Amino acid sequence: MKNDRKRRFRDGLIFAAAVILIYALIMNFRSLGSGIMRVFWLFSPLIIGIFFALILYKPMMTINGFFLFLKKKSKLKKHLPDKVIKTVSITLTVIFALLVLFFVGNSVVPQIIVSFRSIFTSLDTYYPQIIGYLEKLGFDGNKIEELFSKIDLSQVWKTLTDNATHIWQTALGAVNGIANVLTGFTSALIFSIYLLSNLETLKRQTKKLLAAYFRPETAKKILGVGRLTVVTFLNFFSGQCLEAVILGTIFFIVLSLFGFPYATVISVIIGFTAIIPYVGSFIGGAVGVLLILMRDPMQAVLYIIVYLAVQQIENNFIYPKVVGTAVNLPAIWAFVAIVIGGVLFGVVGMLFFIPMASVLYTLLKNDVNARLKKKAESVPVLPPVPPADGAE
């Protein structure tokens, strides 16, 4: 009886603390978001390094497994330590990743620049068509033309020249920003290499730390949660990145074969946005519709049909094979995680909140199932009722 009172008091205290905490978070929502963003930017090289390590882990393990297989089949078992094989595997993985980035920067980015330049230089051609479509929608074409005619290009040029000093300072700030980005990228890459090189050491140190400060049962639970978190994030990011590359490549091939304009730009945008599950590729597809709509509305309709067809193939055949159950989260909760993460931290929040929500969902589901099983086992099984006298 006394233990029941203590348990009820403890549960009530925890519930009250949780309610107060949730209320405080809601009342200080903006301050919380800005504070977390400051912490994120402070540790951004380390966080990005962890992100790189999650992406590079599976390719590194594939290369490492291949070399271990060759070592097993060859006569170099004694002369080639596993540590050397791991170092070579990490080096080849990083070189391959840098080559992919170089290829994207050297071939895809110039085509994107050319495509956007073509869009802007062709605005004069599209202008009458846009006015015509707006008039069909009920807008007054004369008022629209009058609005555009009020734009004085000479005044724009004068404003630019008068603010040349400010523009120069902005340009210097941009150069400084690029230098900071390169420095952060290099630091993140070095940190990711360190993580990949010292995985076993980090695992061993974590187990020793938990064993020193926690009871065995608590340490085992913490290790289980940590293992679930690492596996979920690893499968999510590696699977999503691979799926995004495959989807972007398929769209590039299909759009090029059908002769759609801006095939490279649209494919790259779809590939990047597809990293966000469920909604990312639709955002990229909508951008593609707008770009093609400026060139030819009929092609935009055909593009929508092609896009939906490719999406059906991707959702039914490619995504289940590549990503599988890595997310392990119902679509409705994944969408909620995307919305909350996007509101708090933008695109970064969308990416990280999905695996975080998946971990919480899995832990809650396992706890609920364990409690229900415990309750079912504690219910006494009544003996069968004997038949009444005279009953057949």
- Higher model confidence: residue 260 or residue 147? 260
Q: How far apart are CA 96 and CA 373, in angstroms?
A: 49
Q: What's the length of the chain? A: 392
Q: How far apart are CA 54 and CA 97, in angstroms?
A: 13
| pLDDT score at 205 | 92
Please report the sign of the dihedral spanned by the C-alpha atoms of residue 84, residue 87, residue 92, residue 93: positive
Q: How far apart are CA 253 and CA 270, in angstroms?
A: 13
| pLDDT score at 326 | 64
Q: What is the pTM of this model?
A: 0.70
| pLDDT score at 304 | 92
- Average pLDDT for the chain: 78
Q: How far apart are CA 33 and CA 54, in angstroms?
A: 25
- Higher model confidence: residue 165 or residue 285? 285
- Higher model confidence: residue 373 or residue 12? 373
pLDDT in tens, 274-290: 888 777 888 888 888 88
Residue 354 pLDDT > 60: yes
| pLDDT score at 325 | 62
Average pLDDT of span 138-144: 59
Q: How far apart are CA 166 and CA 172, in angstroms?
A: 10
- Candidates 36, 54, 351; CA nearest to 191 is 54
- Candidates 56, 356, 361, 5; CA nearest to 196 is 56
pLDDT in tens, 2-47: 566 666 777 677 778 877 877 776 676 666 667 777 777 778 888 8
